[in-house]
Amino acid sequence: MTITQPPEPIDVEKARHETPGCAHVLHFNNAGAALMPQPVLDAYFDHLNREARMGGYEAAAEARDAAERPYDAVARLLGCRRDEIALIENATRAWDMAFYAFPFQRGDRIVTAQAAYASNYIAFLHVAQRAGAVIDVIENDEHGQVSVEKLKAALDERVKLIALTHVPTNGGLVNPAAEVGRVAKEAGIPFLLDACQSAGQMPLDVEVLGADMLSATSRKFLRGPRGVGFLYVHHSLLDRLDPPLLDLQAATWTAPDRFTIRPDARRFETWESNVAARIAFGVAVEYAMGWGLEAVWHRIRPLAETLRERLHALPGVTVHDLGRVRCGIVTFSIDQIEAHDVQEKLRIQGINVSTTSPASTLLDSTARRLPTLVRASVHYYNTEDEIERFCRALRSLL
């Protein structure tokens, strides 16, 4: 029997020292935008200063090598090739570039799960209305996660895509993506994974996950700047996808009546981008891997469970997280107090949380009759003392 040793523990004091924001706020909004560490801030502002001193194009030319580093960093993060990575302005647009590249026709089935994110489901509806595709939502199992058995039973030759939200925006559920990936591979159906809320808080290996496409963002658990997302597309799938838009980054104009699309994943990019944010994003991914994603996950999960336990003990507080495996996102409601009021009262005390409305996960929220929830999301630089302070603040509201 193989015994797996736990990863080296996170040096929380060092992580907090390298995170300037920890001195100013109690930040439980990492599922919205995490606090950036100092090396990421340095990379971001260094490039902005170069742009101010010498001009944007000139600064970009000087920083060409640094701007290429994110491709290698994300490839190492996901266990894939650098030519399978595209950098895009946000995770939603990255997901869109993959989804809208499929030539859906009338009767084609798009299979998804109950915890689908609003932006993704709106795209499903858009294609259903425009092309006549059919949306099939797989029911949950007894743990509240997508039922893999029901997924298997639902597949047939009309299914053109399986699209799954790995971690929903409204709770700590972690859908069984690797099991879904195995089912998709056995059936020969492309699998698109929205990893926006999982990238940076847990290991993601696209071979293990069986994902043919994966989208995520910089600003959440990877702790990078806003305005950057990325898309992974397996090289074997590239020529089967028709990008929904092209420019001179994605293709080359070769004759008055012809163009050639790039052979790699950058066919999904556009030429203009926030170079400073891209460079800083590459540093953020390298910084995360410096801690080790196993160590990050090993830190976040028990921290979130501790928060859930403390919240369960508070009168009038209901925790709403589902799943056999739960992550760093904790959602709850308080009797007689609206979520937005909780958020504002905590903000006044220097505590950051966010809210998640039923419209963001309409199928799940309707099925469970959820109100707007308070969302507290922890990261490895958060502490048990912060959880105690957080719960004291909530107790004062009660």
Taken in order of first residue, the domains within the chain and their CATH numbers are 12-36+292-397 (3.90.1150.10), 41-290 (3.40.640.10)
How high is the pLDDT of residue 1?
37
Residues of the chain with pLDDT > 90, as a percent, come to 98
Find the mean pLDDT for residues 256-274: 97
Find the mean pLDDT for residues 163-179: 98
How high is the pLDDT of residue 4?
59
Residues of the chain with pLDDT > 70, as a percent, come to 99
Find the mean pLDDT for residues 289-315: 98
Q: How far apart are CA 125 and CA 129, in angstroms?
A: 6
pTM of the model: 0.96
How high is the pLDDT of residue 133?
98
Find the mean pLDDT for residues 45-50: 98
How high is the pLDDT of residue 3?
44
- Asked whether the predicted pLDDT for residue 144 surpasses 50, the reply is yes
Give pLDDT tens digits for 304-337: 999 999 999 999 999 999 999 999 999 999 999 9
Write 125-132 long-range contacts (CB < 8 A, 24+).
127/99, 127/100, 131/104, 131/105, 131/106, 132/105, 132/106, 132/107, 132/108
Find the mean pLDDT for residues 229-239: 97
| Residue listed under structure tokens 């912060």 | 386
Give pLDDT tens digits for 362-394: 999 999 999 999 999 999 999 999 999 999 999
Q: How far apart are CA 104 and CA 130, in angstroms?
A: 9
Q: Which of 111, 211, 99, 100 is nearest to 166 (CA)?
A: 211
- Band (pLDDT 50/70/90 cuts) for residue 398 is confident
Q: List 255's β-bridge partners, or say none.
A: 258
- Asked whether the predicted pLDDT for residue 238 surpasses 90, the reply is yes
Cα dist from 380 to 150, 298, 323, whole Å: 35, 9, 21
The three state secondary structure string of the chain is CCCCCCCCCCCHHHHHHCCHHHHCCEECECCCCCCCCHHHHHHHHHHHHHHHHHCHHHHHHHCHHHHHHHHHHHHHHHCCCHHHEEEECCHHHHHHHHHCCCCCCCCCEEEEECCCCHHHHHHHHHHHHHHCCEEEEECECCCCCECHHHHHHHCCCCEEEEEEECCCCCCCECCCHHHHHHHHHHHCCCEEEECCCCECCECCCHHHHCCCEEEEECCCCCCCCCCCEEEEECHHHHHHCCCCCCCCCCEEEEECCEEEECCCHHHHCCCCCCHHHHHHHHHHHHHHHHHCHHHHHHHHHHHHHHHHHHHHCCCCEEECCCCCCECCEEEEEECCECHHHHHHHHHHCCEECEEECHHHHHHHHHHHCCCCEEEEECCCCCCHHHHHHHHHHHHHHC
- Asked whether the predicted pLDDT for residue 174 surpasses 60, the reply is yes
Mean pLDDT of all residues belonging to the chain? 97
How high is the pLDDT of residue 106?
98
Write 129-133 long-range contacts (CB < 8 A, 24+).
131/104, 131/105, 131/106, 132/105, 132/106, 132/107, 132/108, 133/104, 133/105, 133/106, 133/107, 133/108, 133/109, 133/160
Give pLDDT tens digits for 24-35: 999 999 999 999
Name residue 236's amino acid: S
- Asked whether the predicted pLDDT for residue 19 surpasses 60, the reply is yes
Find the mean pLDDT for residues 280-287: 98
- Asked whether the predicted pLDDT for residue 37 surpasses 90, the reply is yes
Cα dist from 47 to 213, 279, 285, 286, 388, whole Å: 31, 8, 17, 17, 39
Q: How far apart are CA 195 and CA 165, in angstroms?
A: 7
How high is the pLDDT of residue 2?
41
Contact of 216 with 77, CB cutoff 8 Å: no
- Asked whether the predicted pLDDT for residue 187 surpasses 60, the reply is yes
Give pLDDT tens digits for 65-99: 999 999 999 999 999 999 999 999 999 999 999 99
How high is the pLDDT of residue 158?
98
